[in-house]
């Protein structure tokens, strides 16, 4: 090989390509395909990748990454859609997974499964739209996937617990059944939990929530005016979501973060205690 051939610069990734342009970081020749714009000149693909590994990801005060894909919201929406399709194909599924106070003492999975089932196409569309706008576009990126999932799931349980708490445990009457024997489905309780969380977190950050207050007010009125809406679950989800968000906000400082998950667990424990005490009181009243 001649001396002239030895000094011809070629791209390390593409040895068959001659390049007189060099990477500003490592100084190696870089062909047009491997060039990446830099503040000054260009960098090679390898240097760009190495730099990306050393850069810290920008995170919110609550630990969320604003650039993350809202995978938890996507997963919840996908589960709700699949469950709704299965409900449409099998009418018995709604009966098996809805939250019925009378049955849920011995079938506790209903406290959570009911939050992934819906009564109609309109019902699921409204809930998923609210989940997308409030959860996927804002809260999940603000909190991060794990904290966001905790808010959603604990709020769903809180909604069911409040529906249970406010349902009168009375003997069954075929002509006028109490909500104690009527099933409730829908992600509304969990979605209202997201509403409550947004209010608390925005207040902590000094941001306005005027639009959310209007949304909550409209939905509250609808819950009392339109028959068949489990407003009790909305109330329970809202209070629970606000409580979980309050714990997260209060423990957002680095020196307090070790108390964050114990605080969330305490909220969950209160929800469980409400259900246990209600069932204990109901047993006494039904036997009296």
Could you say which residues of the chain have pLDDT below 50? 1-4
Q: What is the per-residue pLDDT for 245?
A: 97
Domain 71-287 has CATH 3.40.50.720: no
Which sequence spans correspond to the domains of the chain?
Answer: 3-54, 71-287
Which residue is catalytic, options 120, 188, 252, 284?
188
Q: What is the per-residue pLDDT for 219?
A: 79
pLDDT digits (tens, 9 = 90+) for 90-130: 989 999 999 999 999 999 999 999 999 999 999 999 999 99
- The reply to whether 123 belongs to the active site is no
Contact by Cβ (8 Å): 135, 73: yes
Rounded to two decimals, the pTM is: 0.79
Contact by Cβ (8 Å): 218, 234: no
What is the rounded distance in angstroms from the CA atom of residue 110 to the CA atom of residue 241?
A: 19
- The reply to whether 188 belongs to the active site is yes
Contact by Cβ (8 Å): 200, 249: yes
Q: What is the per-residue pLDDT for 56?
A: 62
Which residue is catalytic, options 19, 104, 118, 234?
234
């Amino acid at each position: 090989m001649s001396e002239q051939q030895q000094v011809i610069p070629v791209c390390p990734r593409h040895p068959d390509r001659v390049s007189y342009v060099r990477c500003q970081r490592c100084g190696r020749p870089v062909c047009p395909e491997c060039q990446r714009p830099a503040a000054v000149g260009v960098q090679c693909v390898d240097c760009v990748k190495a730099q990306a590994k050393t850069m810290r990801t920008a995170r919110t005060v609550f630990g969320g990454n604003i650039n993350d894909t809202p995978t938890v919201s996507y997963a919840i929406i996908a589960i709700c859609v699949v469950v709704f399709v299965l409900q449409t194909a099998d009418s018995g599924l709604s009966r098996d997974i809805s939250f019925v106070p009378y049955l849920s003492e011995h079938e506790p999975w209903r406290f959570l499964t009911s939050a992934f089932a819906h009564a109609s196409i309109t019902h699921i569309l409204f809930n998923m739209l609210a989940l997308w706008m409030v959860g996927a576009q804002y809260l999940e990126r603000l909190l991060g996937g794990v904290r966001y999932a905790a808010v959603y799931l604990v709020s769903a349980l809180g909604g069911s617990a409040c529906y249970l708490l406010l349902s009168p445990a009375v003997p069954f009457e075929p002509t006028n059944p109490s909500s104690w024997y009527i099933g409730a489905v829908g992600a509304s309780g969990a979605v209202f939990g997201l509403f409550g969380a947004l209010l608390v977190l925005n207040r902590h950050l000094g941001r306005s929530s005027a639009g959310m207050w209007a949304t909550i007010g409209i939905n509250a009125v609808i819950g009392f005016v339109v028959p068949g809406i489990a407003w009790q679950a909305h109330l329970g989800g809202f209070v629970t979501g606000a409580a979980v968000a309050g714990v997260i906000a209060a423990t957002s400082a680095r020196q307090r973060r070790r108390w964050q998950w114990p605080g969330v667990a305490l909220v969950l424990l209160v929800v469980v205690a409400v259900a246990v005490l209600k069932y204990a009181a109901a047993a006494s009243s039904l036997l009296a």
